[in-house]
Chains A and B, each alone.
Chain A
Amino acid sequence: MSALTTTGTAPAATGARPPRVRKRPAVRLAEGLGFVVVLAFSIFPVLIMVSTAFDSRANDGSRALLPSDLSLANFSFVLGEGGFGRYLLNSLAVGLGTVVVSGLLALLAAVAVARFRFRLRTTVLVLVLVVQMVPLEALVIPLFIQVSSLGQLNSLIALMVVYVAFSLPFAIWMLRGFVAAVPPELEEAAYLDGASWPRMFWSVLFPLVGPGLVATSVFSFITAWNEFVFAITFLDDEDKFTVAAGLRQFFTQYGTDWGSVMAGSTLITVPVMIFFIVVQKRLSEGMVAGAVKG
């Protein structure tokens, strides 16, 4: 490879046009154009959301790319009178609960399918893949009946349990790649050194799949944080609303309070977005690990 790369940097060496190095102007222009278009398309809604959130005249039909009157009025209304702090706390609790429970269960299951050969192993893997195909919206009716006959409507715990189930198949699928990438010899060596098998998983394997756990946690958290259908179906009490359900409060029969909608949307989007961007490398590793290893 290095030989080829070296040839590539010295065009005179071979007659052929070297790939990648020294691009033609037309190619550079196309790349630059593509860059600008993708950048604009990606962040356009984010810009609109944030700029409207900071615009105290958002409801007077100002609707510009930049706020006409920069202020924090929308945020203070949303967090104060709008009760949005409550929704944020509820969502945070449900999200963190989902991450912890689903991460633990997924890790155990991933170790089982990546480390052991047992009868029905393939069946389990197929099951995990197939349940991801189930449209969750199709489950809202039976789960609503079940939860309501157990008297658990308005229970954040019930909502969390449902989110754990939703995030679990994908988490198992992703983590199994990370577990498979850890050489079993490491655990075997620990075992031969006298560690019991729980210990060998705990102190050898678990630390090494840390990046995988970060990636799956992000996905589980976002599943819970963003979920809308079950939140509006299970929760009736304003006290129990999660952020996705709570935002609807700002749509009234008298019209939409766009300033509040966008301030609320900003509050639920921007922190998650920053976190997401920080761990992006782990996320793409996770996607590939889940897709091709195992």
Chain B
Amino acid sequence: MTTQQVVHDDTARRDTTPAAPTPPPRRHRGLTPGWLPWALLAPALLVVGGLLVYPLLWVFSLSVQDFGLRELREGGFHWTGLDNFAEILTNPTLWRTALPNTVVFAAVCVVLTVVVGTLVALLLARLGPWGRGVLTTAIMAAWAMPAVSGTYVWVYVFDTSDGMVMRLLSSVGLADPDTTNWFTDRLAFYSIATLNVVHHGFPFVAVTVLAGLLTVPKEVLESAAIDGAGPWRRFWHITYPIMKPIFAVVVVLSTIWDFKVFTQIYLMPGGSGTDRDLLNLGTWSYLEGISQNRFGYGAAVAVVLTVLLLAVTSVYLRTLFKQKEL
């Protein structure tokens, strides 16, 4: 490659950086055949279509069937219309347990994850290279910890008989191991789950927001500071508007993850359905569908979860599209 092309490289990079609406790429005109993009896309589309889109449609179709073990073994089709949904919508488990456990938990987790992540990013941006290196390494460790291991550790720490937290609290007389069980109390159970999910989720937000912060031009921030704008105003009037697309992505992804939290609930004592007060939409669907072999009913619960999630995220998505980020 010649030097000229390297220079080219630099300009092209700069061209793609601004957040301004970029026109769709119009490249390789006449150099490549028109079917080529479709040929390149075909394998990915086949896999996504066959294993994500098709099963998703199938969930909807299962949800209007009475599909159990018999149908699984012998095949056949038992259309029941909206019976499953009627049963779910009249079931207090939905209104008193699964829905609040899902929605309130997700809302709290998203807010906490994004706030904590953003604060950590702002801190990282202020630290010197040494401090930033150490802290980034530590939060990467939190990020890389599998949900399974993380959940086991929190269960261990909060263990009601021997756990560290119980020992600490009982030694100062704040809790009694004989009468307290965090894992049977809904609020305590979901607080531990929140701690777990936020711990696992904030590094993604911090790293992404930090990367965005580094794209905010320093000159603008510095001149605003010289003009007398405090840190709070600088953040809301300069940093935040520039980073809006990044915040949008971070919020959308956190919402998706936190609405369907499964492993962290399922692996906690009582979370797999033995204590029905602790069910969320994901574990409820799994309990009915897979554990009890009521595939149709479980699918209907899954449909409720999916519709809810799509409704919530479509609001964010619309904002993304308005900003022409695609």
- Please report A residues at the B interface, Cβ cutoff 8 Å: 1, 4, 8, 14, 16-17, 19-20, 31, 34-35, 38-39, 41-43, 45-46, 48-49, 52, 61, 63, 65, 105-106, 108-109, 111-118, 121-122, 124-146, 148-149, 161-162, 164-166, 168-169, 172, 180-181, 183-189, 191, 197, 222, 225-226, 228-229, 233, 243-244, 247, 258, 261-262, 265-266, 268-269, 272-273, 276-277, 280, 283-285, 287-288, 290-294
Nearest CB in chain B to that of A225: its residue: B146
Chain A nearest CB: distance from B207 CB in Å? 5
- Identify which of A14, A46, A187, A285 contacts B141 (C-beta below 8 A): A46
Nearest CB in chain B to that of A247: its residue: B148
Note all chain A residues with C-beta closer than 8 A to B59.
Answer: 138-139, 141-142
Interface footprint category on B: 35 or more
Nearest CB in chain A to that of B203: its residue: A42
Note all chain B residues with C-beta closer than 8 A to A111.
Answer: 40
Interface secondary structure of A, over-half rule: helix
Q: Tell me whether A288 and B208 are in contact (CB under 8 A).
A: yes
Contacts A31-B123, A133-B310; is A138 near B13 (CB within 8 Å)?
A: no
Q: Tell me whether A189 and B157 are in contact (CB under 8 A).
A: no
Note all chain B residues with C-beta closer than 8 A to A292.
Answer: 19, 212, 245-246, 325
Chain A nearest CB: distance from B223 CB in Å? 7
Among A20, A187, A222, A292: residue with most chain B CB under 10 A? A292
Decide yes or no whether B178 CB sits under 8 A from chain A: no
Note all chain A residues with C-beta closer than 8 A to B266.
Answer: 228-229
Contact with A along B147-184 (1 / 0, CB 8 A): 11110111011010111100100000000000000000
Interface of chain B residues 126 through 140 with chain A (CB within 8 A): 126-127, 131, 134-140
- Please report B residues at the A interface, Cβ cutoff 8 Å: 1, 5, 8-9, 11-13, 16-17, 19, 22, 24-28, 31-32, 34, 36-38, 40-41, 43-45, 47-48, 50-53, 55-56, 58-59, 62, 67, 72, 119-120, 123, 126-127, 131, 134-150, 152-154, 156-157, 159, 161-164, 167, 199, 203-204, 207-208, 210-212, 215, 218-219, 221-223, 225-226, 228, 245-246, 249, 252-253, 256, 259-260, 262-263, 266-267, 282, 285-286, 289-290, 295, 298-299, 302-303, 305-306, 309-310, 313, 317, 325-326
Q: Tell me whether B148 and A226 are in contact (CB under 8 A).
A: yes
Q: Tell me whether A135 and B25 are in contact (CB under 8 A).
A: no
Q: Tell me whether A280 and B140 are in contact (CB under 8 A).
A: yes
Tell me the bound Cα distance from A19 to B235 in angstroms.
Answer: 14
Q: Tell me whether B44 and A133 are in contact (CB under 8 A).
A: no
Chain B nearest CB: distance from A242 CB in Å? 10
Contacts A108-B40, A283-B207; is A46 near B5 (CB within 8 Å)?
A: no
Q: Tell me whether B16 and A181 are in contact (CB under 8 A).
A: yes
Chain B nearest CB: distance from A149 CB in Å? 7
Nearest CB in chain A to that of B58: its residue: A142
Q: Tell me whether A45 and B56 are in contact (CB under 8 A).
A: no
